[in-house]
Amino acid sequence: MASVTLLGLELAALTETETIHYVLDERGQGHGGWICTANMDILRQWRRSGDVRELVAGADLVVADGMPLVWASRLKGTPLPERVTGSGLALTLSAAAAAAGESVFLLGGNPGVATQAADRLVELNPELQIAGTLCPPVGFERDPEWRERIVRTLRDAKPGIVYVALGFPKQERLIAELRAELPGAWFIGCGAALSFVAGDLERAPKLIQRAGLEWLHRLVQEPRRLSRRYLVEGFPFTAVLFSSALNEGRRERVWRGLAR
């Protein structure tokens, strides 16, 4: 599988459609897996934390959920084909799962959001099999009883695909634990995706997404939660990413020129 490396993180060079085909093909062969949808914030945390690097290394696919990552890949001269977002996969993978007879489980979101999202997905795809929904409370990761409840619920539901919408890196830590319980399932860490599907949050229009301004749309909706991530940490890190991509691209072009 082709890949692109940005700041040391290896990203699968797949389109959203190719990602869906990969997941369903693997499911058809009885293989489970885990998709990490890496955005700028995840890449920033990955770069500064050994624990996060070790966590993300457990994912079977790391895809680029963010236009700045796609732009950086172009600056480097090794372009990724497109964004592959958790919010997009929640819709498109669910539609493909319905056609393939695969069941999905929705885990996370604010109280009631997973159920609302499941209802919306079935409305869009009447044949979709919902294996179950569960919204753990804040702090569940420190409650052994809740952790056991999650494991038991998923083990009983036996879903083919699990959307885990708890935010990074909480959702990835939970996925790493759940993989052993459901080795044949595919897990997708999808952040706020269920809130978008349920209508609890409004996703940016397609034009704004393509322009790479979805972060601004989200910032307007959740300024207290996201202002530090986008304004204080995000802008400086974007400069680091773009500078690195340009420099790596120049070095690769020089080496190619010398090799001729």
pLDDT tens per residue, range 117-127:
999 999 999 99
Q: How far is CA 14 from CA 43, 44, 60, 237, 251, in A?
A: 18, 21, 13, 24, 25
Model confidence pTM above 0.85: yes
Per DSSP, the three-state class of 30 is coil
Least confident of 95-104, 130-139, 199-208, 251-260: 251-260
Flag whether pLDDT at 17 surpasses 90.
yes
- Helix or strand holding residue 133 (H, E): strand 129-134
Top-tier CATH class for 3-248: alpha beta
- pLDDT of residue 185 exceeding 80, the answer is yes
Token pair of 154 as six digits: 């998923």
Q: Is 244 left (phi over 0), alpha (psi -120 to 50) or beta?
A: alpha
- The rounded distance, in Å, linking the Cα atoms of 73 and 64 is 10
From the list 236, 114, 17, 111, the residue with the least C-alpha distance to 228 is: 236
* Pairwise pLDDT comparison (104 vs 254), residue with the higher score: 104
